[in-house]
Amino acid sequence: MNLRNAEELSYTQIREIDKRKTVCFLPVSALEVHGPHLPLGMDLYMARWMAEEAGRRFAANHPDWTVIQYPPLPLGTDELPLAGSMNTNQRTVYTGLRDQGESLARAGFEYIVVTNGHGGPRHASGIEAACRRVSRKTGAGMFSPSIAVMHAIITGAHFDFIEEQLGRPLSDAERDGMLSGEHAGTWETSFMLAQNPDLVEEGYQHLAKNGPPTFGPLQAAGEKFLAFREKRGADTSHSREVLGAITGGLGWLLNTRYGYAGPAISYQGTPAVASAEIGHIFRELLANGCHELVEDVTSGRKSAVDVRSIASDPLVIQPGVLSGLGMAAAAVIALLVLL
């Protein structure tokens, strides 16, 4: 009985729990359009899977600990602005998670794990910033393993493991699909084919590779800046990835709202090469990656504030930065566009 649902616990039971040896799992992701074929709750399904399966594995490994599963929070920013998406601003995501975390920390809980299935840059940075804030302010270990785990998967870090599990080499089409970005593409479509195939609409097999346009002016300005840094000997590979995420996100926003670069695009990647067999492996990678980081933090091998992803690096997407800079930020962005 060391695996509990928060909504079922009484006040008496809460007081009896040894909170120093308890891990609270809190899934968070909003409803968002995922292509023409996947449900709005795609990201919530992934967030809940990571919480439930990583929590189950931790509870099985540590019978003297308690794992508490909290209901998912339907919050998200940088959602596709299409009918059905539920978008909040980044500050709401940040403050909502901060307040939830501080509430748990005041109750005496020392480990809080936020799982997330949505990869929007400002969404992910808001979650990780809230976790760091709670950890530093309260002394509790609040962290989100999801973005770092997912980033490693979709950038090809586990291809050897995937082929080993499949018992065959990946086809060129599968490799390309897995590396061509991800929003309702190969990975997420495969996940849902394994999780609940009834929620995948027929016709996904005919959805070829697609993706949002990048916002050209900002991309060009960023390329000039990175070329300048490269001439000075800087390694810009990481910066190029960040630039691509930002300009792609902005281009997608302009595309879906104003028709920039053509008709509205609702997915990124290649749904056509998805399969349930890939989905089961994807689920295993997600759950195992989250579980390993939970083990690292609870054992003291890793600090909660050191669990972070690529989303925590660019200053411009951190919570409150643009609102705090005000006109100065607007002027810098305008200058970049005009360069």
Q: Domain containing 80 — which CATH number?
A: 3.40.50.10310
Comparing CA positions, the residue from 222, 211, 210 lying closest to residue 246 is 222
Q: With respect to residue 188, please indicate whether it lies within any of the assigned structural domains.
A: no
Tens-place pLDDT, residues 271-325: 999 999 999 999 999 999 999 999 999 999 999 999 999 899 888 889 988 654 4
Q: With respect to residue 139, please indicate whether it lies within any of the assigned structural domains.
A: yes
Q: With respect to residue 234, please indicate whether it lies within any of the assigned structural domains.
A: no
Q: With respect to residue 55, please indicate whether it lies within any of the assigned structural domains.
A: yes
Comparing CA positions, the residue from 328, 332, 188, 159 lying closest to residue 266 is 188
pLDDT at position 313, please? Answer: 86
CB contact at 8 A, 307 and 144: yes
Q: With respect to residue 184, please indicate whether it lies within any of the assigned structural domains.
A: no
Angle between helices 276-299 and 146-154 (to 10 degrees): 140
pLDDT at position 248, please? Answer: 87
Residue 54's region, left for phi above 0, alpha for psi from -120 to 50, else beta, is alpha
Residue 160's region, left for phi above 0, alpha for psi from -120 to 50, else beta, is alpha
Instruction: Please provide residue 159's backbone torsions phi and psi, each rounded to the nearest 5 degrees.
Output: -60, -40
More confident residue, 335 or 145: 145
Tens-place pLDDT, residues 94-122: 999 999 999 999 999 999 999 999 998 89
Cα gap 287→50, rounded to integer Å: 5
Comparing CA positions, the residue from 35, 36, 78, 43 lying closest to residue 249 is 78
CB contact at 8 A, 145 and 289: yes
Q: With respect to residue 264, please indicate whether it lies within any of the assigned structural domains.
A: no
pLDDT over 70 at 264, yes or no: yes
pLDDT at position 271, please? Answer: 98
pLDDT at position 337, please? Answer: 35
Residue 31, domain extent: 3-152+277-308
Cα gap 255→252, rounded to integer Å: 5
Where residue 339 falls among pLDDT bands split at 50, 70, 90?
very low
Query: Cα 313 to the chain's mean position, in Å?
Result: 15
Return the percent helix, strand and coil in the chain, to nearest 5.
60, 10, 35
CB contact at 8 A, 3 and 56: yes
Report the percentage of the chain scoring pLDDT > 70: 95
Q: How many domains does the chain have?
A: 1
Tens-place pLDDT, residues 178-194: 999 899 999 999 999 99
More confident residue, 247 or 273: 273
CB contact at 8 A, 320 and 129: no
- Give SS3 for 66: strand
CB contact at 8 A, 278 and 101: no
Name all contacts of 156-163 with Cβ < 8 Å and 24+ positions apart: 158/285, 161/281, 161/285, 162/278, 162/281, 162/285
Comparing CA positions, the residue from 180, 204, 203 lying closest to residue 191 is 204
Q: With respect to residue 302, please indicate whether it lies within any of the assigned structural domains.
A: yes
Task: Give, in order, the Cα–Cα distances in Å from 45 to each of 73, 116, 331.
Answer: 12, 9, 40
Q: With respect to residue 166, please indicate whether it lies within any of the assigned structural domains.
A: no
